[in-house]
Chains A and B, each alone.
Chain A
Amino acid sequence: MDLILGAAITLSILGMVFGIGLAIASDKFAVKVDPRIDSINEILPGANCGACGQPGCGGFAQSVVEGKAPVSGCTVGQAAVAKLMANIMGVKFENRERVISVVMCHARGVKDKFAYDGIQDCRAAHIVGGGFLGCDYGCLGLGTCVEACKFEAMYMGKDGLPQVIKERCTGCGKCAAVCPRKIISIVPESKMVHVRCKSLDKGAVARKICQDSCIACKQCEKICPYDAIHVQNNLAVIDYNKCTSCGKCVAVCPNHTIINFAREQSLAAHTAALV
């Protein structure tokens, strides 16, 4: 009998001591979770694409609350999400323009340097002798960017070049990051004029390799009224801060290197109407 009583008393005392200990500990060492993290998490797209540079949406939410990431940091959610987040965080929201991905290569008539039958991934092909393509800068066309896109906003076109579906593109930049040739640029949606060539070869060389290459003739540079396009290292480069998409350079480019999306679109609409 004594034995049982003794055991019961000892156990209850021990229980009480631990209980109090735990109660104090839970109060003292409590991890405070900012409720704002949860609310931000709820409004994020949940794609965990990593385009914000954080480990997934959860990581981004935490960084925003800790002040380590801007409320406009989610490329996918764009303005809508940024506005909501700014509300939660109590900061002012500045509208950022929607950005999309544009493939800056239009390789036409480019011959292969050699037959490549290795791993079907642009990155793997690029490390074999600098790529099999006749042009050292052009698109290899194995579709690694398409594979990388989490939003099914890209596909391989009939001409062997990747195409972007503007409406679906979130501007997350995944495609641009995986492309070993750095062919894809993330640009503001409103910009319509782009130099679709990345070749740094001298004009005479580039012309032989590709029918659509920039030959560094500087015609575009001369005609541009806004000082927005310049030939650097044998390649015309547009300063999107200055470019107004007037399309003057498109008209003078002898090699049809520069493209005007606005014109393409209206042309497409026109042909569609005709059919």
Chain B
Amino acid sequence: MITLVKSKLKTFIGGIHPGEDGKLLTKDRKEALAPLPKIVYLLMSQHIGAPCKPIVKKGDYVTKGQLVGESQGFISANVHASISGKVTDIVPWPHPVTGVKSPSVIIERTDEDSWTEGTNVETDIDLISSDEIKQRIQSAGVVGLGGATFPTHVKLTLPKDRPIDTVVMNGAECEPYLTCDYRLMLDRSREIIQGLKLIMKCIGCKKAHIGIEANKEDIYTLFKDILSNEPDIKVDLMEVKYPQGAEHQLIKALLNREFKPTQLPLEVGAIVINVGTAFVVYEAVKFKRPLIQRIVTVTGNGVENPQNFLVRLGTPIKHLLEEARVVSNIDKIIFGGPMMGIAQGNLDTAVTIKGTGGILAFKGTQQWNSHACIRCGRCIDSCPYGLNPSILSIQSEAKEFNLALENNVMECKECGCCTYICPAKRPIVHLIKFAKAEIAKQKAQKATPAERK
């Protein structure tokens, strides 16, 4: 949307303004400890990269924080037991977002809930070396908690020829309904700043920039207060707009630097970390606590008691929904935020993973019939990456995937702005995902010519 009066708040071009009311449901809900689940399902593939190898056997007893999945290769992240108990089985389990099955370690809880040896010990981090920081992050299995779940130690391993001058911290939380980052920033602000400083130390970067959306002014003042003596860490308010927290939009808003959709923030001398990630980095480095829990917003009009739960990884979402008093006539359960989240088909198998920030339950959702494109151009205005979603969706519909490729379909980040804004209710993102999947398949086939019988 083109605004003639230039807003004073920092932002980017494109994007949408989804309703803000959703956040009010859980904004005041301080993190609540969800009762421990009886059983957890730890997926060996909770991150981008190679799945872990289970290093426990059926029948083994494990204690909280014990390594159960060893990372394979550099781009991979360890998985630790999130409760103490007995390994009852190791079976393929579907990923709640992709549906792809990967081995999963199933642990049944026995009563005690104490940390395994060597974890949960307070250490002195005043003089810690940068290598040690990275090593502790890696062994704790930290991944980006903003949703992308990219292993953090990999992100912090920078190519020598690409100096980073600013660490950008994402406190936008631009997805409607979610307040898990908000609560974390409010309740654990000092720890987050410590985590940010550890990351800066780890990569030898002197400056940082924190971006907060204007609907969280209390956080802004809080951070300003804490950082009043730290001129190198800037805090800024940004316009409330989706997807303000995406890497490209965040860097454009805060640093006024632009880079191609296919490039990484490294290109413009920045890296982006989420506030949640900064917090677990602090936990991992200071207390050697592996990543076994996170805050999950359970909300929507389908639950009577919306909450921000501190949840152990691998908790079945049924357990959480029950805790939040789910109503009987829910229509839709969404994993993640309403914009990028994935609707769940099978409630029996859905479990939380490292990237789960929200679980939304809705009742009374409307079914829309989609129509042919009316060429209104709204999707083009809304696309933060300057793509033409209309033409991409039409080409994908016609199975002309190569034409879509020419129109840069691969640059789409699936942010969902176009689908949200489309008055013809076209399933644009689905069509784009379809085209991307087909193009990827074609590419793979070219690489290894299919054997013919």
Check: A129 CB closer than 8 A to any chain B CB: yes
Q: How far is the CB of A145 from chain B (nearest CB, A)?
A: 14
Mask: chain B, 80-113; 1 = CB below 8 Å from A; 0 = not? 0000000000000010001111000000000000
B166 → A minimal CB distance (Å)? 36
B430 within 8 A of A: yes
Report how far A56 CA is from B389 CA in the complex, Å: 32
CA distance A124 to B430 in the complex (A): 8
The number of residues on chain B lying at the interface, defined by a beta carbon within 8 Å of a beta carbon of chain A, is 24
CB distance from B146 to the nearest CB of A (A): 22
Tell me which of A85-93, A112-120, A219-227, A253-261 binds B. A112-120
Binds B, one of A14-22, A28-36, A60-68, A130-138: A130-138
CA–CA, A127 and B449, complex, Å: 23
B99 touches A119 (CB 8 A): no
**How far is B399's CA from A121's CA once the two chains are assembled, in angstroms?**
10
- Inter-chain CA distance A119–B393, complex, in Å, is 11
**Structural contact, B427 and A130, CB atoms closer than 8 A:** no
A99 contacts B by Cβ under 8 Å: yes
Q: Report yes or no: A123 in contact with B434, Cβ–Cβ below 8 A.
A: yes
- Residues on B with C-beta less than 8 A from A177 are 450
Within 8 A of A (CB), among B397-453: 397, 399, 427, 430-431, 433-434, 437-438, 449-450, 452-453
Known contacts A119-B434, A124-B430: A130-B367 contact under CB 8 Å:
no
- Any chain A CB within 8 A of the CB of B228? no
Decide: A123 and B345 in contact? CB cutoff 8 A: no
Contact B438 A123 (CB under 8 A): yes
CB distance from B448 to the nearest CB of A (A): 13
For the side of the interface on A, what is the size category?
20 to 34
Residues on the B chain within 8 Å of A123, using CB: 434, 437-438
8 A Cβ contacts from A106-157 to B: 113-114, 117-119, 121, 123-124, 127-132, 136
* Complex-state Cα separation, A113 to B333, whole angstroms: 13
Residue of A nearest to B333 (CB): A114
Closest to A118 in B: B430
Residue in contact with A186 in the complex, picked from B101, B346, B430, B453, CB distance below 8 Å: B453
Instruction: Give the distance in Å from the alpha carbon of A118 to the alpha carbon of B452 in the complex.
Output: 33
Given A131-B99, A136-B101, A186-B453, check contact A113 B345 (CB 8 Å).
yes
Query: Smallest Cβ distance from B397 to chain A, in angstroms?
Result: 8
Of residues 162 through 184 on chain A, the ones whose CB sits less than 8 Å from some CB of chain B are 173, 177
Contact B430 A128, beta carbon cutoff 8 Å: yes
Name the residue of chain A whose CB is nearest to the CB of B433.
A127
In the assembled complex, how far is the CB of residue B43 from the closest CB belonging to chain A, in whole angstroms? Answer: 14
- Taking CB atoms, residues of chain A closer than 8 Å to B438 are 123
Given known contacts A119-B430, A121-B434, A114 and B101 CB-to-CB distance under 8 angstroms: no
**B residues apposed to A, CB below 8 Å:** 94, 98-101, 342-346, 367, 397, 399, 427, 430-431, 433-434, 437-438, 449-450, 452-453
Known: A117-B367, A119-B427, A129-B99. 4 other contacts (CB 8 A): A118-B427, A124-B431, A127-B434, A129-B344
State the A residues within 8 Å of B (CB): 53, 99, 113-114, 117-119, 121, 123-124, 127-132, 136, 173, 177, 186
The contact sample of 11 A-B pairs, CB cut-off 8 A, is A99-B453, A117-B367, A119-B434, A121-B434, A124-B431, A124-B434, A127-B433, A127-B437, A128-B99, A129-B344, A130-B101
